[in-house]
Amino acid sequence: MLIMWLKNNPKNLITELEYYKNSHNKEFFYQTRGLDRRDIFQTLTELVRAARFIYLNKTCFNGLYRVNSKGYFKYTNRQL
pLDDT by residue for the chain (80 residues), tens only, comes to: 678 878 888 999 999 999 999 999 989 998 998 898 888 889 999 999 999 989 988 887 666 677 778 877 776 655 55
What's the CA gap between 35 and 72, in Å, rounded? 9
Q: For residue 23, what pLDDT is reported?
A: 97
pTM: 0.78
Residue 69 is given by DSSP the state: T
Q: For residue 24, what pLDDT is reported?
A: 94
How many other CB atoms sit within 10 Å of the CB of residue 16?
Answer: 20
